[in-house]
Structure 1
Amino acid sequence: MSHLYVAVLVVIVTVLLSVAIFRTTLVKTKADYLVAGRSLPAFVLVLTLLTSWIGAGSLFAGAENAYKNGFAALWQPAGGWLGLLLIYFIAPRARKFAQFTLPDLLEARYNQVARVLGTFAILFAYVGITSYQFKGGGDVLHLIFPDTVSSELGTYIIAVFVIVTTALAGMSSVAYMDVAIGSLVTVICLIAAPYLFLQAGGWAGLHSVLPPQYFEVLGNYRLSPTGAELPVAMGLIRALEFLVPTMLLMLGNQVMYQKFFSARSEKDARYSVVGWIIGTLVLETLIVAIAVFGRALYPTGEVALHPREIIPYTARHGLPAVLGAVLLGAVFAKVISTASNYLFSPATNLVNDVFVRYIAPDASNKRVLIISRLAVVLLGCWALYQAVYAESILQKMLWAYTIYSAALTPVVLAAFYSKRATAWGAVAAIAGGTVVTLAWDLPFVKALFPHIIADRDAIFPALFVAVTALIVVSLFTAPPRESQLAQFAD
């Protein structure tokens, strides 16, 4: 059986490397590298958006959530679904703006300070997201080769592969690798979920082995760490701590905006969101379902100690050999794709928003490409360091989502939908959201406010500070110029 898994991985790695190398031959300019020459059609956009969004955050953190809480884990992807409904209207506006990065947008609508602070917020959040993709990929390799590859060694292997393929061709490589990966993952999940449902005994079998909370709207979110039942309001707050960061990350996601900037036209950008909505609804639900079915089949043992591994573990032990190998390979490929997207995105910030903007404005295309690839390598090493020292993928995911959601999403939405939000209001919001999130888990802060912080996520305090700062400071500063607003009109 191990030969089958090796064969599947070899095929996947060969295909991805071939795509990356081929697309490298087409990269000649800064626009080719950063936004694929603004040439992506709707079909490619759908698959690259879907593949970049659903990675270790869904396959490991979301699966861990489902293993512990049942179908209530759907609160997490539901945030993305709600965000997508609004994105349908944002997509053509973003393509009309057509720059390279989100800080480009922040400077055009606000000022240079907003651009710089936004760049730092993106670096913290996206390198954190990349780090748990590396860790999830290491878990997959360990499950495939338990006697020869530890999770830590697997993490190093995945990191090297992602850094190399991402550095080669940039957005062009990332987008077209996503086409192959997105197609594979969607098809295999559509086949695997019904099979595992039957293996678990259908609804009757699931109800007989799983706690009743697994089928309730709030699941175990109403239970305290000691197992005592909490009021409904407390359970709802916990559920919203999964939904809100996911929704806000979706709305302000620089990876998404870069894909829209790469679209062939405004029409392609809008059409791609329709396909993205359908794909995300289907695929995220299937992932949660597979994790719940896996929990019913494997309630104890090794996977109970590491519930984030439930989907690859179920693929390895609960499916026929060929189907299991393909699902495991699809998870492996999905992690690589998302890691590539979230590694490439902050690298473009360093290049476009720091190097080209402030250090070498007249740099040649060749020099920009060299610096771009160097930025990918440096940020990849930083993400690898975080991956080695982070234990919980779920906690790392929530931290990364929160810093981005609180610091950037309010000002991004205000850029498109508010004529009164000002530059210094945006600066105050970005700074406030970032500081609260970074300070929330510091030991001395926890010691000062033990009853307020406890085990709560920082999303609501950080978001409150950011939105309040945006509104209050905007009220006391001069409104934006008409020229700033015109770029973001429908």
Structure 2
Amino acid sequence: MAFTITIMGLYFAILAGLGIYKATKIKNQTDFSVAGRSLSPWILVGTMLATWVGTGSILGNAGKAYQTGLAALILPLGSICGIILLTRVAGKVRSYEKFTVPEILADRYGETARLLGVFALVCAYMVIVSYQYNAGGAVLFTILEGSSFQISLKTATFLAATFIIIYTMLAGLVSVAYTDVGNGIIMTISLMIAFPFLWYTAGGWSGMETAFAGMGKSGHMDFWGVYSNIELVNFLLPPFLLILGDANMYQRFFASKDAEGATKATFALIFFVAIVEILIIACAWVASSLITEETKGKYILITIAHSFLNHGFLISLLGALMLTTIIGIIISTADSYLLVPATTIMRDVYQTHVDPNADEKTVVLLSRALVVALGLIAFGVSYAFSKSETFFTKALYAYTIYGAAITPALVAALFWEKVSNIGAITSIIAGIFITIMWSELGNIFSNSFTQSEFYKSTDAVLPAIFASVSCLIIFSLLFPDKAKK
């Protein structure tokens, strides 16, 4: 235990030192928000990988693998397909020289679309940051449980949130991007070592078959027929929509040295995301044959990494590295999803509508203040979600808010000349409204529809994206912009 705490402490000290050092290099908003537009393709790959593969993968997809088994290997398909399409977007986005996604919406559709985009982005990203806090707290709690340093889960979550807020506030993207590369490398290596070890420990395919049969979970060895068609839509569409329009990815494109580098990095990202996502789910699937306590399934990778700590030096080192990597990825993802809304509010609200002539020193200072303010809001949201939902469910909800509201209008802005201001505005409103209303309809009304199998089995993503895309197309055709007639 002391060994793990030492490695974790060393990791945090390196992060803190890097954050403090990089903070001295921040001179303007470009440095703070888009790393001075200086990132090379390989740095971009590392930071995009570590940003995307966060709690939704480490705890969400892994937790789903614990529940359903081998079939969970299909879950990364949505995000991989989204990244494939992003290769067509990356270079085009970088050429805009922007800071935020709502700036693109404003240039194409006007101020109303910009402000609606800000609202949808902030709502979705506060949810995403909130469950990063919960996940970070869960890791700290698990590591310290039973030791002389044991703390409550609430305290662990508070400490995780505090570190994330301070680290993000110090140096913005310029520090996050470079630590992401290290996190990505360690994560990939530790998972590649962990999988064969887990496979051997579980007794291979036959050992897992026997173990799952003893648990009454023989279906965990099946890939086909586990998820229904509607479940596949519910699980794959939200991450596809999010990553295709994810402001984090676009921020990385803006931070690239050039358009060519952004495109190259995105092509490489397809391979790395596929490898890491599959390894995460495969490790969780094998590990679930070794863990009989249902309460541990929510944190299956944390649980199995923690169990390594008493198996000799090399295996203990692997467990310590896995735990450190998990919390590192959580911190990286939280930093990114906290920095983006802070940058967005600063660029698209304050500098546009409050003080367009604000000097660089003021902008950086207020950007840091916004990180703290939004971080505290997300901390409040984390308590609201802490007991009510699984990480997988929280992730899908947040992805849907953003993906259904912003992605259709954003992609249309880049590729469809006939899209109109009214079409985009109604699309964003429909995406937000349907996502929230569909999710809450069963709590508001009790009738034949809310009790139907269709409503219970259908996630908000399907009606929300249908309404969003329909509004985008129909209203663009019915009410074209005058200049485009």
TM bucket by the smaller chain?
over 0.9
The answer to whether 1:241 aligns with 2:241 is no
- Specify the code of the residue in structure 1 equivalent to 2:110: N
**Residues 293-346 of structure 1 deviation map (CA, whole Å, 9 limit, x = unaligned):** 110111x22xx1242210010001146211111111110111011010111111
Partner of 1:270: 263
Change beyond 3 A, Cα 1:430–1:16: same
2-side partners of 1:242 and 1:108: how far apart?
33
Distance 2:158 2:43 in 1: 30
CA distance in 1, matches of 2:124, 2:299: 23
- Partners of 2:31 and 2:305 lie apart in 1 by 38
Partner of residue 354, structure 1: 349
| 8 Å CA contact retained: 2:231, 2:457 | no
Secondary structure of the corresponding residue to residue 217 of structure 1: coil
CA RMSD of aligned residues (A): 1.4
TM-score by length of 1: 0.92
SS of 1:454's equivalent in the other structure is helix
Q: Determine if the alignment matches structure 1 residue 438 to structure 2 residue 428.
A: no
Give the Cα separation in 1 of the matches to 2:230 and 2:224.
10
1:381 is the counterpart of 2:387: no
Structure 2 unaligned spans of 5+: 310-314
Q: Residue by residue, what CA displacement relative to the aligned partner does 1:68-104 show, whole Å, maximum 9, x if unpaired?
A: 0112223321101111111111110011112000000
Give the corresponding residue for 1:225. Answer: none
- 1:43 touches 1:272 (CA, 8 Å); kept in 2? yes
Distance 2:398 2:174 in 1: 25
Aligned CA distance change for structure 1 residues 24 and 214 (closer, same or farther; 3 Å): same
Aligned amino acid, residue 473 of structure 2? I
The one-letter code matched in structure 2 to 1:80 is S
User: Which residue does the alignment assign to 1:39?
Assistant: 38
Tell me how far apart the structure 1 counterparts of residues 404 and 263 of structure 2 sit (CA, whole Å). 26
Q: How far apart are 1:478 and its partner, in Å?
A: 2.1
**Superposition map of 1:66-145 within 5 A:** 66-145=65-144
Aligned to 2:28: 29
Aligned to 1:230: none
- Offset of residue 446 of structure 1: 4.5
The alpha-carbon distance between structure 1 residues 15 and 219, as it changes in their structure 2 partners (threshold 3 A), is farther
8 A Cα contact 1:347 1:379, kept in partner: yes
Conserved? CA contact 1:72–1:214, under 8 Å: yes
What are the equivalent positions in structure 2 for 1:3-402 lying under 5 Å apart?
3-147=2-146, 148-210=150-212, 211-218=217-224, 220-221=226-227, 235-298=228-291, 300-301=292-293, 304-318=294-308, 320-390=315-385, 391=387, 392-402=390-400
Counterpart contact for 2:230–2:458, Cα < 8 Å:
no
**In structure 1, distance between residues paired with 2:419 and 2:444:** 31
Give the Cα–Cα distance (whole angstroms) in 2 for the partners of residues 481 and 71 of structure 1.
53
Q: Which moved more, 1:258-267 or 1:447-456?
A: 447-456
Report the TM-score when normalising by structure 2.
0.93
* 1:216 Cα deviation from its structure 2 partner: 3.0
Residue pair 1:71, 1:216 contacting (<8 A) in 2 also: yes
CA distance in 1, matches of 2:202, 2:483: 61
Alpha-carbon deviations, 1:207-243, whole Å to 9, x = none? 222334323334643xxxxxxxxxxxxx011022110
Partner of 2:312: none
Tell which deviates more after alignment, 451-460 or 426-435.
451-460
CA contact (8 A) 2:50 2:332 kept: yes
**Structure 1 residues 480, 175: closer, same or farther in 2, change over 3 A?**
farther
User: Among the aligned pairs, what percent are the same residue?
Assistant: 35
Q: Which moved more, 1:208-217 or 1:193-202?
A: 208-217
Q: Give yes or no for contact 1:155–1:388 (8 Å, CA) kept in 2.
A: no
Local SS of the residue matching 1:447? coil
**Is the 1:171–1:344 contact (alpha carbons within 8 Å) kept by the matching residues of 2?**
yes
- Check conservation: 1:76, 1:246, Cα contact below 8 A: no
Conserved? CA contact 1:63–1:288, under 8 Å: yes
Q: Which residue of 1 aligns with 2:404?
A: 406
SS of the residue aligned with 2:76?
A: helix
- Does the aligned pair in 2 maintain the 1:255–1:345 contact within 8 Å? yes
Matched letter for residue 200 of structure 1:
A
Q: Which amino acid aligns with 2:2?
A: H
Match for 2:188: what amino acid? Answer: T
Counterpart residue number, 1:456: 458
> Quick check: 2:165–2:372 contact (8 Å CA) kept in 1?
yes
Query: Which consecutive residues of structure 1, in runs of 5 or more, have no partner in the other structure?
Result: 222-234, 483-490
- 3-state SS in 2 of match to 1:89: coil
Q: CA offset at residue 480 of structure 1?
A: 7.2
Query: CA 1:97–1:325 in 2, change beyond 3 Å: closer, same or farther?
Result: same
Q: CA deviation at 1:441?
A: 2.6
2:289 is paired with a residue whose SS is helix
Mapped to 2, the partners of 1:359 and 1:75 lie a distance apart of 46
Instruction: State the alpha-carbon separation in 2 of the partners of residues 256 and 446 from structure 1.
Output: 38
Distance in 2 (CA, whole Å) between partners of 1:194 and 1:275 is 25
